[in-house]
A and B are shown apart, each in its own frame.
Chain A
């Protein structure tokens, strides 16, 4: 049976007209709303590639039933910064060599923004624990930790966030 409902994504209302009841938010974002930035690599909540914010909480969109996410603020990677005007986190990832194939990258960017919001100066262990839900197969994580630390230091120095 086809589902019809509204989702509020990146500040914009989207009508979903052809979803099915159990469809995940991940699939709905990609296949119904054409927002391809959020990636699916495991559909079990084990890799974090599908991470989005729902009402300010970092969650795996593959584990959210889209039809139940009505009247919630959903933020995807597309909502982090305008295209071509990357956030400081996004720029740091590129500068630090933290992007190889890039498949894990959108989910990681979401997780890092969330981490630095809650904990602006995380040490190495905290970074690793808070990002443990995001798996990367290419980088071995070293350059990613470096990117996070670069942003943290820069923000502290400038007294601003983002």
Chain B
């Protein structure tokens, strides 16, 4: 009897495919879960950062003396105190730990203090006198491209330039549609503000080679470790990074913020030091989504089949490079969207400016590209007399199709399926203007404007819009992308150790489910997440389920195989006949059965495995190369009620079918889908960091608006489960796709609503503002 025929046993709980609940869930609901901002020790000092008020200036002098005079101030440090590398960065090491000669953005760190308490630290910062020579900031990306502004950084004003040329560039379409699209600067706006606490080793001091332990909420422990160590002039092993509870990340924790500053202060004083940002400082202290301008021209046959795409992308990377060069590549390599297109010419720039530095945010360049190409696809639909669904179906990519980089999409690519299943999801059955209250009155809460009572039902029209997208998973361009996991099994208990940053996405559930499934034990313990095991890479790029899941899976399999080998030897059974069945080891061709727990008694196994994905390659000077690893697809349909006269909007429903491979934890997948869509909605209609003359104007939650319960509609979702043969668990990453095509679907719905009252609006910029709709 084969394993599959044993059907009497109830499905085993807690394994892959089960919607298990979070092991840290109860603690979180009770306020007992420790975030990095909750960590403190008696006697620790408090650090704070002095930041530039100017977008671009030369530092003439810094007078620290007045700060030292203040009672309770213990340390004041600047660039002169950095013992190791003075600059850091994820790709180029171009960002100073502290500004020394120039400040290049409002908020750039100039100095830091440690004091007995936050109030004292604040007074110390206020006492530091910095003399600046103001310089003309570079604020126009075109000026950077044209070389019209002196370099604001020794590395120059262009961070990266890349072209893509594919196929026959001389073809032209019978139909040509074009547009220029702008995407504003979005903020990740995680709720759990930046905080860290650093514990110097006994006897350690700044520059004497002594080590340090840092507790931090971050996305990538080992990359933090590497950069911190370099700046402290220490070998990596001397910097132990421990994951503190993370209150959301969404890309903002991939770059260094307060890590080096906190460590420097702690080492300077030989005492623990903690630092914490408030919301205003948080807006200055982390990178943001790149504001981007994209010009596109789509050429098609008369019946709407793409023949060529031309595009020019300009990403404003702000003052420092961060991951701009990778964001650029993501944007331009997926400029065609999830569509077949034989020819294309794409030009891309990532430039420097004196705006806030930009880097990773969920979607990573694909968000910007998608708003442009999906807006184009709707223009194409109009020009060809097709509806938005039909034009997309006609061009939908399938497995084996080629990107404009020449790379073949070898993953499962169920683009048509995503569109059809989304279209099959029921439209909302609430009428325009909402369901009337029992007394017949309109329920204002269901109208655009909400409690503001700005509209009556007759002022509102409804529109439907579409967005479909492609997102690369994992890292690209030859990056050595890997993850590590360690599995121990002893006496019926499996212990898994990894450095995978749990930021709320639920990897702690997946890891447990994998171990249970592979090993056949229910008792799985997760060890502390720290640098005491190899790197897991970043929690970003929708990569952890695949990569860290792959690592936990591989480590668990190795342990399982060793256990089976021992049992096989002892029982005199051919090891190839042994298998895990639920929680037992069985002989698939015999009657032997022994619970894994019993089998592991008195034994101990311990394996650490690195999981790597297949190699990726650089792009050549024509942008040709297999630079990405894998791809995921998704479709969104938005239903939006619009008040055309006031330009106010209420999203009524988002429907989506997402290509997830295998839903390892369906409830968790839904959580990622709904959360990502909320961020896409935010970019569509309300979220933007506003900078005027290089100065941020809305560094707070009063004026940087996040979607509330009343802004975010119900989501109806279908999971498209076509296991991906390239993925270790069949599953694709699910975190990013939801925030990519949700944005253009909402904007398209607004355009559709306006059309129904005879108004044509391009709406070529996100976030769409009321004035864009009604003026």
Contact = CB atoms under 8 A, between A and B. Distances in A.
Touch between chains A and B, by CB atoms below 8 Å: yes
Interface of A: 20, 30, 36-44, 46-47, 49, 76-78, 80-81, 83-84, 86, 89-91, 93-97, 99-106, 109, 124-125, 127-129, 131-145
A93 B30 contact: no
B193 A93 contact: no
Interface stretch (B331-339, B452-460, B698-706, B757-765): B698-706
Interface in B17-32: 19, 21-22, 24-32
B674 A101 contact: no
B505 A106 contact: no
Contacts of B27: 102
10 contacts: A42-B701, A44-B701, A83-B32, A99-B25, A101-B503, A125-B446, A132-B708, A135-B191, A138-B504, A140-B712
Contact of A140 (B22, B189, B675, B701): B675
A145 B27 CA distance: 20
Nearest to B502: A101
A142 B192 contact: no
A128 B709 contact: yes
Nearest to B677: A140
Contacts of A144: 709
B561 interface: no
B35 interface: yes
B31 A41 contact: no
B710 interface: yes
Q: Which of A37, A39, A103 has the most CB of B within 10 A?
A: A103
A37 B709 contact: no
Interface string B693-728: 000000011100010111010110000000000000
A141 B38 contact: no
Interface of B: 19, 21-22, 24-35, 37-38, 119, 189-193, 245-248, 250, 278-279, 434, 443, 445-446, 450-451, 503-506, 667-668, 670-671, 673-679, 700-702, 706, 708-710, 712, 714-715
Given A135-B706, A142-B714, A86 B29 contact: yes
Given A90-B30, A97-B19, A142-B674, A39 B191 contact: yes
Q: Which of B29, B504, B702 has the most CB of A within 10 A?
A: B29
Main secondary structure of the interface of B (DSSP, over half): loop
Q: Which of A84, A99, A131, A145 has the most CB of B within 10 A?
A: A99
A127 B712 CA distance: 13
B674 A104 contact: no
B670 A97 contact: yes
A90 B279 contact: no
Contacts of A142: 670, 674, 712, 714-715
Given A43-B278, A99-B22, A131-B709, A80 B30 contact: yes
B30 A86 contact: yes
Main secondary structure of the interface of A (DSSP, over half): loop
Q: Which of A89, A132, A145 has the most CB of B within 10 A?
A: A132
Given A102-B247, A129-B445, A90 B708 contact: no
Nearest to B276: A40
Given A20-B119, A94-B21, A101-B192, A134 B709 contact: yes
B505 A100 contact: yes
A141 B247 contact: no
B190 A109 contact: no
Contacts of B443: 125
Contacts of A49: 191
Contact of B246 (A77, A101, A141): A101
A76 B31 contact: yes
A30 B34 CA distance: 12
A128 B710 contact: yes
Contacts of A76: 31
Contacts of B667: 96-97, 143
A47 B191 contact: yes
B192 A37 contact: no
Nearest to B666: A97
Contacts of B503: 101
A90 B21 CA distance: 13
Given A42-B279, A99-B28, A102-B24, A138 B671 contact: yes
Nearest to A90: B29
A23 B115 CA distance: 18
A140 B25 contact: no
A128 B708 CA distance: 8
Contacts of B446: 125
B665 to A, nearest CB: 9
Given A40-B193, A103-B190, 6 more contacts: A38-B31, A80-B30, A105-B29, A105-B31, A129-B445, A135-B701
A81 B671 contact: no
B29 A140 contact: no
A95 B21 contact: yes
A39 B674 contact: no
B674 A86 contact: no
Contacts of B25: 93-94, 99, 102
A160 to B, nearest CB: 20
A137 B680 CA distance: 11
A85 B726 CA distance: 43
Nearest to B654: A140
A94 B38 CA distance: 21
Q: Which of A36, A49, A91, A100 has the most CB of B within 10 A?
A: A100
A37 B190 contact: no
Contact of A37 (B30, B247, B250, B679): B30
Contacts of B38: 30, 36
A40 to B, nearest CB: 7
A105 to B, nearest CB: 5
Given A20-B119, A94-B25, A129-B445, A36 B34 contact: yes
Contacts of A137: 189-191, 248, 250, 675, 678-679, 706
B39 to A, nearest CB: 9
B409 to A, nearest CB: 28
A41 B676 CA distance: 20
Given A99-B25, A99-B29, A129-B710, A41 B191 contact: yes
Given A101-B192, A140-B712, A94 B22 contact: yes
Contacts of A103: 35, 190-192, 247-248
